[in-house]
Amino acid sequence: MKILLLVESSGVRGGIEVFAERQAAALRAEGHAVDVASDIPADFSAWDEIVVHKCSDVAALERFPPEKTTLYVHDHDPICPRSYAYTPLRRNCTRASGLWPCLLCAPLCRAWRPALARVLAQGRRKRAMARLAKIVVISEFMKRRLVANGLPAEKISVESPAIPVRDGGPATAPDGVDLLFVGQLIRGKGVQLLLRAMARMKTRRTLDVVGAGNLEPALRALAEKLGLADRVRFRGFQSDPQAWMRAAACVVVPSFWQEPYGLVAAEAVALGRPVVAFATGGLPEACGGRATLVPPGDVAALARALDAAPFDHQTIRPSDHETIRP
């Protein structure tokens, strides 16, 4: 079978890109001819199947031949004009998209013209999605979100991503990694909350931050302000994050936004590493009951979980007054 795999370029190699790369490799191993592209062709007749991993252009989405197109939904883009499913007040949003309240929320978070265009196109986008042969999501959480937004449940299937775990191989991480964060340094990933939790901890643990992003200067400044500069090491992008996970005493996933799944958490669990994560979005599914889950945004509870030793798999109860907006 000849398959076209489309991944809209974002300029960042994140979870979607990793997922698509692994899928292309698996399909080729099965003997399929796979073309990977970021630009949408004018004619689809050369392929037997179209697999779309991201498409922001509603008009392009309407052009895909519905009978042979599968759309993977990895994030909140198709159902949230804000994209991140949290509000300007930094609270997670669980509403279905529509003119209200999206018409007020989205322009406060984006340039108002493109935001308005996205809000007005939401109904059209959902209709284009509903006509496709199949929609695939990576967690039951995301299926519930799509169904709540009016998409037909019978067309939505859940396929949790395969988590390839490599042998140890040559060590590319230093010895003695204590707490570890792996991911993009953007606000929704919650490193700022992790730093605030470290400042409240009773034990002097260290943190290695593996990843890059536009929030790094602010995070470095916050670490300095909190007196953590000697305990937090910013390691930048690393080509082999699994090596860092293997070396870590604990992998921390402090995302406060509703992660559609959480590949880092799933990889760390597969590697047998203790994981502490906020219980939001698809993260509980990604951890499969093998992590310490903390109420979202509860910095004091996160500090208690990170102080705990050994890292028993448990749910930390929320604090009475320590939940902080990111």
Q: How confident is the model at residue 325 (pLDDT cuts 50, 70, 90)?
A: very low
Distance of CA 249 to the CA centre of its chain: 22
Map tokens 């219980």 to a residue.
279
User: DSSP per residue over 222-258, as a string?
Assistant: HHHHTT-TTTEEEEE--S-HHHHHHHEEEEEE---S-
Count of CA atoms in the C-beta half-sphere (13 A) of 151 = 31
pLDDT tens for each residue of 105-146: 777 666 777 778 888 888 899 999 999 989 999 899 999 999
Domains of the chain by start residue, with CATH? 2-158 (3.40.50), 177-307 (3.40.50.2000)
Residue count of the chain = 326
Mean pLDDT value across residues 49-64: 90
For residue 322, give every residue at least 6 positions away whose Cβ sits within 8 Å of its Cβ, in sequence order, or none. Answer: 298, 299, 300, 301
Packed helices 15-29 and 263-270: angle between N→C axes, nearest 10 degrees: 60
> Above pLDDT 90, what percent of the chain?
50
User: DSSP per residue over 69-122, as a string?
Assistant: EEEEE-SSGGG-TTSSSB-TTS-B--SPPSHHHHHHHHHHHS-HHHHHHHHHHH
How many angstroms separate the CA atoms of 153 and 8, rounded? 25
Amino acid 120: pLDDT:
84
Amino acid 314: pLDDT:
58
Average pLDDT over the chain, rounded to an integer: 86
> 3-class SS at 139?
coil
Mean pLDDT value across residues 151-165: 86
Query: Tokens representing 107?
Result: 């322009």
pLDDT tens for each residue of 175-232: 778 999 999 998 889 999 999 999 999 999 999 999 999 999 999 999 999 999 999 9
Q: How confident is the model at residue 2 (pLDDT cuts 50, 70, 90)?
A: very high
How many angstroms separate the CA atoms of 318 and 118, rounded? 36
Q: Cα(first)–Cα(last) distance of the chain, in Å?
A: 47
Amino acid 11: pLDDT:
61
Nearest to 308 by CA among 226, 231, 201, 178: 201
Amino acid 201: pLDDT:
95
Q: Is 287 exposed, middle or buried (0-12, 13-18, 19+ CB in 10 A)?
A: buried
pLDDT higher at 89 or 182: 182
Cβ proximity of 181 and 249 under 8 Å: no
Amino acid 206: pLDDT:
92
Q: In what order do the strands lie in the sheet with 69-73?
A: 33-37, 2-7, 49-54, 69-73, 134-137, 156-158
Packed helices 191-200 and 216-225: angle between N→C axes, nearest 10 degrees: 10
